[in-house]
Chains A and B, each alone.
Chain A
Amino acid sequence: MQSFRTEIENPIVEKDILELERKIQLFKEGKIDEERFRSLRLARGVYGQRQFGVQMIRIKLPYGKVSSEQLHRIADVSDEYSRGRLHITTRQDIQIHHVSLDRTPELWAQLEKDDITLREACGNAVRNITASETAGIDIAEPFDVSPYADATFKFFLRNPICQEMGRKFKMSFSGTDDDTAISFIHDLGFIAKIKTTNGVAKKGFKVLLGGGLGSQPRHADVIYDFLEEDVLIPTIESVLRIFDRFGERAKRAKARLKFLVKEIGIEIFLALVSKEVNALENKTFKIETATFENPVSFQEVAIPVVEIENQVAFQKWKETNVIKQKQEGLFAIGIKVHLGDFYTPKARLLADLVKKYAANEIRLTLRQNILIRHIRAALIPFFYVELQKLGFANAGYNSTADITACPGTDTCNLGISSSTGIAVVLEKVLEEEYPSYLNNKEIAIKISGCMNACGQHNMAHIGFQGMSIKVGNLQAPALQVLIGGGILGDGKGRFSDKLVKIPSKRGPDALRILLNDIEGHQQKEESFLEYYDRQGKIYFYDLLKGLSDTANLLPDDFIDWGYSEKYVKAIGVGECAGVVIDLIATLLFESEEKITNSAAAFEENQFSDSIYYAYTAIVNTAKALLISENIKTNTQAGIITSFQEHFVTSNKIELNGSFEDLVYQIKNEKPTEIFAASYLKDAKLFYTKIDTHRKKAISHV
């Protein structure tokens, strides 16, 4: 059965996959706690879905970069373990659905053959690193951000400092001030910048911190106007250490970084970050860019002669879907992927096409599309013809008619009403009634099935969010209409205003009313957002208010888009974060595991890693004892203070010095071998002390 064991070359990856397999087994035998198992599988990309008993798998694709071989591999895996559909997410991942839990280790092992990981695709970890899809080819970019996104991905993957944070952590890299990676909604967002001092040009980034969407969006703060490239990784590491220590863990809804920053303020947060520098192994970290700077190479092929029948359609497609690259004579082609869904037969043909005639690389985009890079000018007509055969040559890439939508009630547990269903209908309205919007690259329409905003609806010019509405004893699917969001550039952005809640079936009318109003009143030189601001929120509320009346609903209003049965509200609980485990025995057992990990890292001379594991062991052990006395343990920093207060100051536990001094050696000492050894010893001693204390306490009961 486990034939994959010998096939994986990387021992760390192999160990990871075998561990997943072992834990699945233990879970099935009822030997590990369900919540604990959930947080483990989430950190390996295995997610629940709306349909019971099967899993959604999120394949982590850093900055959306995929080679022909990788696309083939993903297609094979989807056919074998899923249902042949590939879904591109707004964070440049691919999701496949209906996978059996038992087969996930095998699936993962298959993907690793082409260097694709599932590790930390979900869960309270550093999620996929996203980047502008035009990174490396953009005429306006100061430099290619791809190597930086790549290095960030590699540095933090499996890094002990970010394995069990209070909540997920998202980072993005924008190549230009257009900020297409949307830095203002990320925990950390980076925008490429060049700074010249004394005639020397240096690469670096404008850095934004603490942004996020969801039900309570927050605009990130600019923390550096210019951060030099060599301190990028150390800065991220310090931020993650502080987030791990001070981040909320008990209240899931308040656990994202944005809430911590809001609570303590950006100055205090940055002061904490600056004090972490002592604990870092790398004060600076040079990022290798050479492999990304190789000249583009092509297979030697004859350029096929093609005949294009409809020149008008071809020209229109060229206008909207073909982008001139910074490399002379090369172009990128955007494929508008409807709802981000495509299927394996076409994926394979595309992979072959890209390998033979382009440079063997595609990028998945934040708007759930595909961008093929490095097309020679003479090959553009050929690509048009070939892509047409695949149904991949629809005009309007990144236009208003290119609607973003999360999967919503199709497969997601959290979906409230259909997002994809309404997206299909709205695209049809645009194509049939407002065809000029195929050329409009200003206004973006985005849809999410719930308030968590995976479809990014609350930063779009026009957004819709899935809801339900009560009408007497009945429930109808509904949409909240939002207007006025968007990327302003250089790290600035706007969230949209929530205007009105309407039955879902009136979504198309809402769009018609809006577009008709714009066409009638927007002035020529006025942008959409300027027009919105001029008229104001109330003006648009009044325009749409009529649609919210539920006194006159028809039977059809109770059936959601894309369904034939009556709407039933069914919302599950999110599981992207592992739930907190408060069993004292489990916590102490985990501390033992952490001490083992610390010792293993020490043996391999990874002192910084060893120290961090020892730190988490000490904090975790203290937590166990606090919980046994019903004391709150919301953050690591809180645990450290409370433990001192309740156990050390009161002499219940005797230490040589204070508990704070013991734990915070981690930030005061440099990560040397000597310190790592003594800190590990401290962790072991502390664990033994607490374990003895606990056993004594139990025997007295």
Chain B
Amino acid sequence: MAIIITDECINCGACEPECPNTAIYEGAEDWKYGEGTSLTGDIKLKNGVVVNAEETQEAVSDEYYFIAPDKCTECIGFHEEPQCAAVCPVDCCVPDDAHIETEEELLLKQKFLHN
């Protein structure tokens, strides 16, 4: 599953530079699939939707740092444990029940993001 940042976030930004997929953004910030990944042009997401990797996506949260679930691999393929959770000073980067994925799925996602 992906990691989600809860509303306990204190907006410190410690997690942002740790993410190997550039999946973490500051609240209210626009984001792109292509940032920090090797994705370019039109890409097909897991749910079948086709988006452009350079196209601006809307912020997931306006108030707190957020994780784009489709870019989060829980650090699989990079680190032993999710780095955002490891450095979060208030322990608010937690598994996202709405985005549950197996280790294989996450590994595939990691390959999809960085081919």
Contacts of A450 in B (CB 8 A): 12, 89
Task: For the complex, give the distance between the alpha carbons of A253 and B15 in Å.
Answer: 13
Flag if A253 contacts B11 (CB, 8 Å).
yes
Flag if A216 contacts B90 (CB, 8 Å).
no
Option from A452, A466, A468 in Cβ contact (under 8 Å) with B91 = A468
| A465 contacts the other chain (CB 8 A) | yes
Flag if B26 contacts A451 (CB, 8 Å).
no
A215 touching B91 in the complex, CB below 8 Å, given contacts A253-B26, A254-B26? no
Flag if B90 contacts A571 (CB, 8 Å).
yes
Contacts of B88 in A (CB 8 A): 467
| A501 contacts the other chain (CB 8 A) | yes
| B51 contacts the other chain (CB 8 A) | no
| A185 contacts the other chain (CB 8 A) | no
Give a binary string over A461-485; 1 marks a CB under 8 Å from any B CB, 0 the rest. Answer: 0000111111000010010100000
Task: For the complex, give the distance between the alpha carbons of A94 and B88 in Å.
Answer: 31
| B45 contacts the other chain (CB 8 A) | no
Residue of A nearest to B16 (CB): A216
Task: For the complex, give the distance between the alpha carbons of A569 and B89 in Å.
Answer: 11
Main secondary structure of the interface of B (DSSP, over half): loop
Q: How many residues belonging to A are interface residues under a CB distance threshold of 8 Å?
A: 23
A569 touching B26 in the complex, CB below 8 Å, given contacts A215-B12, A215-B13, A451-B12? no
| B108 contacts the other chain (CB 8 A) | no
Task: For the complex, give the distance between the alpha carbons of A466 and B87 in Å.
Answer: 11
Option from B10, B14, B86, B91 in Cβ contact (under 8 Å) with A470 = B91
Task: For the complex, give the distance between the alpha carbons of A410 and B19 in Å.
Answer: 32
Give a binary string over A485-508; 1 marks a CB under 8 Å from any B CB, 0 the rest. Answer: 000000000000010110000000
Contacts of A571 in B (CB 8 A): 10, 90
Residue of A nearest to B8 (CB): A569
Flag if A451 contacts B91 (CB, 8 Å).
no
B5 to chain A minimum Cβ distance, whole angstroms, is 14
B45 to chain A minimum Cβ distance, whole angstroms, is 28
| A122 contacts the other chain (CB 8 A) | no
| A416 contacts the other chain (CB 8 A) | yes
Residue of B nearest to A548 (CB): B86
| A251 contacts the other chain (CB 8 A) | yes
Task: For the complex, give the distance between the alpha carbons of A14 and B90 in Å.
Answer: 44
Give a binary string over A83-106; 1 marks a CB under 8 Å from any B CB, 0 the rest. Answer: 000000000000000000000000
A216 touching B13 in the complex, CB below 8 Å, given contacts A251-B26, A254-B26? yes
| B17 contacts the other chain (CB 8 A) | yes
Flag if B26 contacts A467 (CB, 8 Å).
no
Contacts of A480 in B (CB 8 A): 87, 89
Q: Quick one: which of A532-589 are within 8 Å of B by CB?
A: 569, 571
Flag if A468 contacts B90 (CB, 8 Å).
yes
B82 to chain A minimum Cβ distance, whole angstroms, is 12
Option from B11, B17, B89, B91 in Cβ contact (under 8 Å) with A216 = B17
Contacts of B90 in A (CB 8 A): 416, 467-468, 569, 571
Flag if A468 contacts B89 (CB, 8 Å).
yes
Contacts of B86 in A (CB 8 A): 498, 500-501
Contacts of A475 in B (CB 8 A): 91
B63 to chain A minimum Cβ distance, whole angstroms, is 12
Contacts of B91 in A (CB 8 A): 467-470, 475, 478
Give a binary string over A428-471; 1 marks a CB under 8 Å from any B CB, 0 the rest. Answer: 00000000000000000000001110000000000001111110
Contacts of A469 in B (CB 8 A): 91
Q: Quick one: which of B12-30 are within 8 Å of A by CB?
A: 12-14, 16-17, 26
B79 to chain A minimum Cβ distance, whole angstroms, is 11
Contacts of A470 in B (CB 8 A): 91
Residue picked from A251, A416, A451, A470, most chain B C-beta under 10 Å: A451
Task: For the complex, give the distance between the alpha carbons of A672 and B105 in Å.
Answer: 68
Q: Quick one: which of B56-93 are within 8 Å of A by CB?
A: 86-91
Task: For the complex, give the distance between the alpha carbons of A468 and B9 in Å.
Answer: 12
Contacts of B87 in A (CB 8 A): 480, 498, 501
Residue picked from A215, A450, A500, most chain B C-beta under 10 Å: A215
Q: Which residues from chain A sit less than 8 Å from chain B, CB to CB? A: 215-216, 251, 253-254, 416, 450-452, 465-470, 475, 478, 480, 498, 500-501, 569, 571
User: Mind listing 7 A-B residue pairs with CB under 8 Å?
Assistant: A215-B14, A251-B26, A253-B13, A465-B89, A468-B91, A480-B89, A571-B90
Q: Which residues from chain B sit less than 8 Å from chain A, CB to CB? A: 10-14, 16-17, 26, 86-91
Closest 8 CB pairs of A and B: A215-B14, A467-B89, A470-B91, A215-B12, A451-B12, A215-B13, A451-B14, A253-B13
Additional A-B contacts beyond A253-B26, A451-B12, A469-B91 (4; CB < 8 A)? A215-B14, A216-B16, A452-B12, A468-B90
